Amino acid sequence: MSRVIADISMSLDGYVTGPGADPEHGLGIGGEGIHAWVLEEPRSAVDDEVLARAFAETGAVVLGRRLFDVVDGPDGWNDDIGYGYDQDQTVAPPCFVVTHEVPGSVRLASRFRFATGGVEDAVRQASEAAGQKNVVVMGGANVVDQCIAAGLVDELRIHLSPVLVGSGTRLFAVAGAAALVQREVVVSPRATHVTYDVVGR
């Protein structure tokens, strides 16, 4: 059965980007370390399996407009790199962007659809597209927080990276209270992958 999964990488001090994140510097200063488990080669077998399994189980993706502006920008995704990083982009799931206004031009138009009715609208559209596979809310932090606050998230996956960035974009700034049950912990040299069931608000 399809589940809504918030899935995001985070530094040990609670940030999903370093300081100065913008469309030109998507991960901010030092933010690459947060995503080292995906970006650095050679990738460990554990991290490879976590990434490949999540990609295979995903039927649709939800992301915010700020993250969209980064991934659709000139230094963002391309034919080989996209959701799931270096997984097969010819079978990548559709991405639903939470936005107040549909952009005038989209570089990777075939990959993105736009939801102007907030996170509830985006998750609804993504759920319809996902079929029996999961809907993944990949970020940014504010969209993940909004989905948790709205009670839309069934599962939370945190990829906790052993790095302190000091400042940047903090996760859980507006999510509010939620009851979680820890379901799985998988450890690699570059991350601790923790899965929680969201059981209440």
pLDDT digits (tens, 9 = 90+) for 30-48: 999 999 999 999 999 999 9
Residue 91: is its pLDDT beyond 80?
A: yes
The amino acid at 145 = D
The topology (CATH level 3) of 8-200 is Dihydrofolate Reductase, subunit A (3.40.430)
Q: Computed from CA positions of residues 154, 177, 147, 33, in that sequence, does the dihedral angle turn out positive or negative?
A: negative
Q: For position 200, what pLDDT does the model report?
A: 85
Q: What's the rounded Cα separation, in Å, for the pair 93 and 58?
A: 7
Q: For position 24, what pLDDT does the model report?
A: 87
11 pLDDT tier (thresholds 50, 70, 90): very high
**What pTM was computed for the model?**
0.96
Please check whether residue 59 is in contact with residue 93, taking contact to mean a CB–CB distance below 8 angstroms: yes
Q: What's the rounded Cα separation, in Å, for the pair 174 and 80?
A: 34
2 pLDDT tier (thresholds 50, 70, 90): confident
Mean pLDDT score of the chain: 96
